[in-house]
Each structure stands twice: as structure tokens, then as C-alpha cells.
Amino acid sequence: MLKKIREDNKIDVSLRKIGYGRIEDAKEKIITHLKAKGGSLPLNDDSSPEKIKKALQISKGSFKKAIGGLYKEKIIDITSKGIKLKK
């Protein structure tokens, strides 16, 4: 993706999606992992960035935005032990 054209006429690019597209990808990844793990994951806002990266290959910031969106959409519940798909 083209990020910006600088004043020196050089182009900054990104191999990852920018902005909300990255969060949509993270939401899909979380839902896929939840389904594969029986509907729950031991990850929440308090989980370490390393634990989130190891489990989902996404940053903690993307994870928090994605689970916030999934929660608002009433797809998951967030508990002190992790996240769960709503039934």
C-alpha cells in the first residue's frame, strides 16, 4: 500500500494493510482462532504483547481494537480469564 509521497519525491510503502483494514483482518484471525480452540482463548486486555503475538501474530494494539469491535458487535464476551465466543 502506498503510504505517502515525500517532499524528496520518494515513496513510502507498507506491506501491511493500513488503518481499519488491519483491524478487520485481526478480527477474522481472532474469530478463526476462537472457533479452532473451542470458543475461548486465554487472552484479554491484560495479556502481554508477547503472549498475544505468539498466539495470533498480531500486535497488542491491533488485538485490543479488534476485540473491542467484536465485543461491540456482540460476537464475544471479555472476561478476566480471556475472550469467549457468544453462543
Name residue, grid cell 484471525.
29
What residue ranges do the domains of the chain occupy? 19-85
Q: Which residues are CB-contacts of 55 (< 8 A; sequence separation ≥ 6)?
A: 33, 41, 43
DSSP state of 36: H
Average per-residue pLDDT for the chain: 87
State which amino acid sits at residue 66.
A
Instruction: Say yes or no: domain 19-85 is CATH 1.10.10.10.
Output: yes
The pLDDT confidence band at residue 35, using thresholds 50, 70 and 90, is very high
Q: pLDDT of 42-65, one tens digit each? A: 999 999 999 999 999 999 999 999
Q: Give the N- to C-terminal CA distance of the chain in Å, as an integer.
A: 37
